[in-house]
Amino acid sequence: MTDLPLGTTDNSVSWLRDRAHRAWLAADAERQLALFDQSLRADGGFDALDTDGSPLPRNGQELHTTARLVHSYALGQAFGHDEADRMIDAGMSALRTWHRDDAHGGYVWWADAEGPRDGPKLAYGHVFVLLAASSAKAADHPDADALLADIAEVLDTRFWDDARGLLCEEYSRDWSSLSDYRGMNANMHGVEAMLAAHIATGERCWLDRAGRILSFFTEEIAPDHDWRLPEHYDADWQVDPDYSGDPMFRPAGTTPGHSLELGRLILEHWDLEGRPDNGAPDRARKLIETALWDGWRTDGGMVYTLHLGGNDVAIADRYWWPVTEGIGALAALIKLGDGTTDELWYRRLWRFAESCFVDPVHGGWHPEIDATCQPVAHQFAGKPDIYHALQATLFPLTTGLSRHHQEIGRGAAAAE
């Protein structure tokens, strides 16, 4: 348990406005950033971290890991973290010199100090490059505009299907073949990155594209599936009920954590559009509430996946990131002032996270726990990620629904 209170016990006062809770959030964010400061190596790469912050050996690094670190430390810079600029510089350099494929264009999934390795080119990884570039621009990094221009060109020419208003997913490294697979996950993170790009650049096209993706999943797919989101589709964007791929990135069925994440993104997009009368808050609430109802275990935590239909648990493992996404979604709903149920859920998730995932000694969050809330390493080793947990601590500190970096700075200051 941490040495700072999560917040007041008075249900009439939202934790989002409670000084004790805001101070707790700020302290946890700083512990996370301090832990991941240790991941930067002398060669400019990033180590995977064990639970105590010591390096874990790995053969290269993934594109999304590099890009997420840039984004996370851009948030950290707005928050006022001293080492943020150093980490952003290293991540931007790694994207340019490690992951950038000078032979074929685009960015490879695996890379090391010697450069890109053979492997597929994934929309999932490329949208995180857009997120990194957008966040770096918000952080006034001198290389941000060049990275934004490059990744925008790659997304335009390779991944964006303008006829459908969606992203395709997977090419061979030389772009000679395109897989028939289409996925919700890459498109959801595409929305996240496009909203960040719109905020950073003011360019309307990013907001419009994010809206087209959201329209497909929340106006066509979700209502036809009882407000659950199938993960996998064929080349014609028909649900593929039999698909099962990588157990972490492409598990079969539906993933409640993704509904929570997409629910928050619906509200962010609606806010950036000027809050039109288009039913977006209602769609967001239906996704979020269905995910909580389906995914929350009676002994705490969110299950990872459900079979299509939502009635049966497929993967009962309890990971940190669905809880962080629930926190972000509920914080957004609370900011709309819709009622006390959201506040009760928000507190429930934070109390569970603080008891089972937050590491008050070394910083960061344990990524996976067993039935007794003890850390385990079935799917993950060490602490592989700062991105999810850092956003869970920083976004509730903002006053608005969108992720303006200056809002994070003001919110953090208000916690002191």
pLDDT tens string 367-398: 999 989 999 988 899 999 999 999 999 999 99
Q: Minimal CA–CA distance to 127: which of 64, 177, 215?
A: 64
For the stretch 300-357, pLDDT in tens is 899 999 999 877 999 989 999 999 999 999 999 999 986 679 999 999 999 999 999 9
Q: Do the bridges between strand 303-306 and strand 313-319 make them parallel or antiparallel, or are there none, so unpaired?
A: antiparallel
Of the two residues 406 and 225, the one the predictor is more confident about is 225
pLDDT (tens digit per residue) in 360-369 = 999 999 999 9
The structural domains of the chain, with segments of one domain joined by +, span 15-414
Residues 34-80 have pLDDT tens digits of 999 999 999 999 999 999 999 998 878 999 999 999 999 999 999 99
Q: Rounded to the nearest 10 degrees, what angle do helices 387-394 and 63-79 cross at?
A: 20
Please determine, for residue 99, whether its predicted confidence score (pLDDT) is greater than 90. Answer: yes
Answer yes or no: 232 catalytic.
no
8 Å CB contact between 123 and 190: yes
Catalytic residue among 126, 258, 269, 405: 258
Nearest alpha carbon to residue 394 among 411, 371, 413: 411
Give the dihedral sign, CA 45/49/55/57. negative
Q: How much is the mean pLDDT over the chain?
A: 92
User: What number does CATH give the domain 15-414?
Assistant: 1.50.10.10
What confidence tier does 2 reach under pLDDT thresholds 50, 70, 90? very low
| Amino acid 118: pLDDT | 79
- Spatial separation of the C-alpha atoms in residues 11 and 101, rounded to whole Å: 53
What is the tens place of the pLDDT at every residue in 156-176?
999 999 999 999 999 999 999
Burial of 356 (0-12, 13-18, 19+ CB in 10 A): buried
pLDDT digits (tens, 9 = 90+) for 220-257: 999 999 999 999 999 999 999 988 888 778 888 999 99
Q: Is the pTM of this model over 0.85?
A: yes
Confidence of residue 410 (pLDDT cuts 50, 70, 90): low
Q: Given CA atoms 299, 19, 330, 246 in this order, what sign does their dihedral have?
A: negative
Among 21, 366, 388, 405, the one annotated catalytic: 388
Q: 306 phi and psi, to 5 degrees?
A: -125, 155
Report the pLDDT value the prediction gives residue 11, as an integer from 0 to 100.
Answer: 67
Model confidence at 412: pLDDT above 80: no
Which residues contact residue 66 at a Cβ distance below 8 angstroms, ignoring those fewer than 6 apart?
Answer: 46, 91, 94, 95, 98, 99, 111, 132
pLDDT score, position 403: 65
Quick check: is 71 catalytic? no
